Chain A
C-alpha cells in the first residue's frame, strides 16, 4: 500500500450534543482521490469539518493522523498550514476584504500566480469584489476552488462541488478540481482529495480511486466508486448495507 496521507481511526463525533459520526475509519494514501456518497444528513459534511478541525465538531473518541502526525486536537489554521484545505458548501461573506487580498493570504508566499490562475478560470473580474459578497451559487464554488488552488493543499476536502452549477460551469469547476488534484499529470501524483457527491457527475471528469458510502454516521461500502454509484442509483442506499456484508467490509 502507498504511504497514507490521512488516516481516520474509529472516529466518534458529536455536533451540538448530537452524536453524528459513530466509528468512522478510512485511509487516504498520497496521490489518491476518494469519493464519499450517502443520504442527506448521514454525516458526510461532518466528517470533512472534523478533519479540518472546526471546534463545534467534537471528537469524543478516535484519532486523525495527517502525514503520520496526530492532528486530532490541532486548530484549523495549523491543519491548513500542514496541508489540508477545504471547499466550503456555504462560505460566509467577508465584507471589506477583497478576494485578491484573501487569495494572497491563502498563498502565504508560496509563489502561486494569483492573477494568472484567476484569468485562466475566468474569475478575474471578481478579484476586486469583497470575498463572496453577492456571489451566485456557481460563483461561490469557483471562488472556493480558486482559494484552494492558491492555497495548494496536499489534501483537498471537497463538499458537493457540482451542486447548483450549470453544465458550462461544471466544465470549469471540473478543470479546477483536476488541477487541484493533479489529474492531468503523468508523474506520480502527490495531491489527494476527498470528494462528496450526490449526483456523481463530477466523477466523470475527476476520476476517483475509491468510493465509500456513509450511512447514519458509519462507513459501509468501500470499493470502485463508479460501481458503488451505479449500485446506489439502481437499488438505493440500503443495498450498501448488504453490499458491505457481501464484501466483508474490506
Chain B
C-alpha cells in the first residue's frame, strides 16, 4: 500500500452522518435473526450467565441492566449527571485534546457505558457490552468509563459490530479505565466490523498499587482501518498489565495496533503479546514499554505469519529504560508457515489447505496469562469460526 493510498484511508468526520440520526430499536426484541447471528459471532450472547448487560445501537442505549449488588452499570451521560466526583476521572486517562477524534467526542458525545464495581466486590460472571452500528454511514462517538474500586474485580467483554446490511461507517471509542489498589480488570474486546468501517479506539488505563489489568483484543474479519494504541500507566508498586492481541488482516484491511505501557512504580510488570496473520491485508504491531522505575519487568512479543505475498506485517517494538535495575526484553518474528509443519500434517492425511488452516488456528491460540478459562474458550471459538475464511 502506498503512502497516498493510506492517507486516503484516513476517515474524515464530515463524510459521515451523526449517529444520533440513526434508527435505534426500542428493545433487543426488535433485532432480526440475522442481526443476532452477527452479534453472537462478535461474542455478544444474551444466554450466557452474566452480571450485567449493556447494548448501544448507534447513539442510543437500548438495554442496560445489572443484577448484583456492588455493580453500577449505566449510560455514561447518566453517570455524568449523577456523580459530582466524575470530573476526577473524565478525560483524565485520555486527553480530550489528543487528536481530532477525541476532540469531536468531547464536543458531541453519542453515549457510552459507565461501570463501577464497589470496593471488595469480586464479580464472578462477565459484564457484556455491545457497541453496535445499525445505520449505514454514521459516525458513532462513544466514551466509556470503568472504575474498579479497591479489591474489586470485573470481567468486561465488549463486542463491537455492525448490522449485516451496513458496509461503511466510523466508530470512535474513547475508553478510560481505572483499577484501584488490588483491583483487577479483565477487558476483552472482540471486533467484527464491516468491510468499509473505520475504527479509532482511544484508550487510557491507570492501575494502582497491586492492581491488575488484562486486555485481550480480537479482530478476525475484514475492516477498512483500525488504529489503536492504548496507553496504560502502572502507577502503584506491584501493579501489572498484560495486553494480548489476536489479529487477522484480510485483503483490504489496514490494522495499526499496539499498546504503550508505562511502568512508573517499583515492582510493576508488563507484557504485550501479539499474534498477527496477514491473508493479504496489512498489520502494524506496535509495542512500547517504558521503564520509569527500578525493579520492573517488562516483555514484548510480536509474532506474525504472512500467508500471502500481498499485504504486510510490520513489527515495531520499543523499549525505554531509565534505571539500571530493570528487566526489559522483546522478541519479534515474522515469517511464513514452516514447510516442515505442513508436511508433517500432510503425512498424517491432511491436505495442504487443511494443514495450513490448522497451523494458523494454532498460531492464533495464544495463551494470555490471567485470562479466565471461559474467556479463553470464547476467543478460541472466535478463531474456530473464522477458520473457514483463513
Residues of A within 8 A of B (CB): 52, 54-55, 75-77, 80-81, 85-86, 88, 91-92, 94-97, 102, 105-106, 108, 130, 147, 151
Whether B359 pairs with A76 at a CB distance below 8 angstroms is no
Whether B363 pairs with A96 at a CB distance below 8 angstroms is yes
- List, sorted by A's number, 20 A–B pairs whose CB atoms are closer than 8 Å: A52-B347, A54-B343, A76-B346, A76-B347, A77-B346, A77-B347, A77-B348, A77-B349, A88-B347, A92-B341, A94-B358, A94-B359, A94-B362, A95-B365, A96-B362, A97-B358, A97-B361, A105-B350, A108-B349, A151-B349
- Contact residue among B346, B348, B364 (Cβ-Cβ distance under 8 Å from A96): B364
- What 9 new A-B contacts, CB under 8 Å, besides A75-B352, A94-B341, A97-B358? A52-B347, A77-B355, A80-B349, A94-B359, A96-B365, A105-B354, A106-B348, A108-B349, A147-B348
- Min Cβ gap B182→A in Å is 32
Whether B347 pairs with A80 at a CB distance below 8 angstroms is yes
- Min Cβ gap A87→B in Å is 10
- Min Cβ gap A47→B in Å is 15
- Contact residue among A85, A92, A151 (Cβ-Cβ distance under 8 Å from B344): A92
| Number of A-B residue pairs having CB atoms within 8 Å of each other in the complex | 65
Task: Verify if B334 is at the interface (C-beta below 8 Å from A).
Answer: no
Report the separation of the CA atoms of residues A133 and B354 in the bound assembly, to the nearest whole angstrom: 21
Write the chain B residue with the least CB distance to A147: B348
Contacts of B349 in A (CB 8 A): 77, 80-81, 105-106, 108, 151
Write the chain B residue with the least CB distance to A54: B343
Report the separation of the CA atoms of residues A55 and B352 in the bound assembly, to the nearest whole angstrom: 12
Task: Verify if B351 is at the interface (C-beta below 8 Å from A).
Answer: yes
Write the chain B residue with the least CB distance to A153: B349
- Min Cβ gap A110→B in Å is 10
Q: A94-B341, A96-B365 are in contact. Are A105 and B348 (CB under 8 A)?
A: yes
Contacts of B355 in A (CB 8 A): 77
Report the separation of the CA atoms of residues A54 and B348 in the bound assembly, to the nearest whole angstrom: 12
Whether A92 pairs with B362 at a CB distance below 8 angstroms is no
Report the separation of the CA atoms of residues A75 and B364 in the bound assembly, to the nearest whole angstrom: 27
Report the separation of the CA atoms of residues A130 and B341 in the bound assembly, to the nearest whole angstrom: 13
Whether A77 pairs with B340 at a CB distance below 8 angstroms is no
Whether A92 pairs with B347 at a CB distance below 8 angstroms is no
Contacts of A106 in B (CB 8 A): 348-349
Report the separation of the CA atoms of residues A75 and B343 in the bound assembly, to the nearest whole angstrom: 10
Whether B348 pairs with A80 at a CB distance below 8 angstroms is yes
- Min Cβ gap B303→A in Å is 10
Interface of A, helix, strand, loop or mixed by DSSP: mixed
Whether A95 pairs with B363 at a CB distance below 8 angstroms is yes
Task: Verify if B345 is at the interface (C-beta below 8 Å from A).
Answer: yes
- Contact residue among A85, A96, A108, A130 (Cβ-Cβ distance under 8 Å from B347): A85
Contacts of A105 in B (CB 8 A): 345, 348-350, 354, 358
Report the separation of the CA atoms of residues A85 and B348 in the bound assembly, to the nearest whole angstrom: 7
- Contact residue among A55, A92, A95, A102 (Cβ-Cβ distance under 8 Å from B348): A102
Q: A96-B361, A96-B362 are in contact. Are A77 and B344 (CB under 8 A)?
A: no
Contacts of B338 in A (CB 8 A): 92
Contacts of A85 in B (CB 8 A): 347-348
Whether A77 pairs with B358 at a CB distance below 8 angstroms is no
Contacts of B364 in A (CB 8 A): 96
- Contact residue among B343, B348, B351, B362 (Cβ-Cβ distance under 8 Å from A130): B362
- Min Cβ gap B349→A in Å is 4
Contacts of A77 in B (CB 8 A): 346-352, 355
Contacts of A147 in B (CB 8 A): 348
B354-390 contact mask (Cβ, 8 Å, vs A): 1 or 0: 1100110111111000000000000000000000000
- Min Cβ gap A3→B in Å is 24
Contacts of A130 in B (CB 8 A): 362
Report the separation of the CA atoms of residues A102 and B363 in the bound assembly, to the nearest whole angstrom: 15
Which B305-363 residues sit within 8 Å CB-CB of chain A?
338, 340-341, 343-352, 354-355, 358-359, 361-363
Report the separation of the CA atoms of residues A77 and B344 in the bound assembly, to the nearest whole angstrom: 10
Contacts of A86 in B (CB 8 A): 347
Report the separation of the CA atoms of residues A91 and B348 in the bound assembly, to the nearest whole angstrom: 12
Contacts of B346 in A (CB 8 A): 75-77, 80
Contacts of B348 in A (CB 8 A): 77, 80, 85, 102, 105-106, 147, 151
Interface hub of B343, B364, B366 (most chain A Cβ within 10 A):
B343
Report the separation of the CA atoms of residues A147 and B346 in the bound assembly, to the nearest whole angstrom: 13
Write the chain B residue with the least CB distance to A106: B348
- Min Cβ gap B363→A in Å is 6
Report the separation of the CA atoms of residues A223 and B39 in the bound assembly, to the nearest whole angstrom: 68
Report the separation of the CA atoms of residues A86 and B344 in the bound assembly, to the nearest whole angstrom: 9
Contacts of A54 in B (CB 8 A): 343, 347
Contacts of B345 in A (CB 8 A): 94, 105
Q: A75-B352, A77-B352 are in contact. Are A97 and B362 (CB under 8 A)?
A: yes
Contacts of A92 in B (CB 8 A): 338, 340-341, 344
- Min Cβ gap A233→B in Å is 32
Report the separation of the CA atoms of residues A97 and B360 in the bound assembly, to the nearest whole angstrom: 10
Write the chain B residue with the least CB distance to A148: B348
Q: A105-B358, A130-B362 are in contact. Are A94 and B350 (CB under 8 A)?
A: no
Report the separation of the CA atoms of residues A76 and B340 in the bound assembly, to the nearest whole angstrom: 12
Whether B358 pairs with A76 at a CB distance below 8 angstroms is no
Interface hub of B350, B355, B363, B366 (most chain A Cβ within 10 A):
B350
Contacts of A76 in B (CB 8 A): 343, 346-347
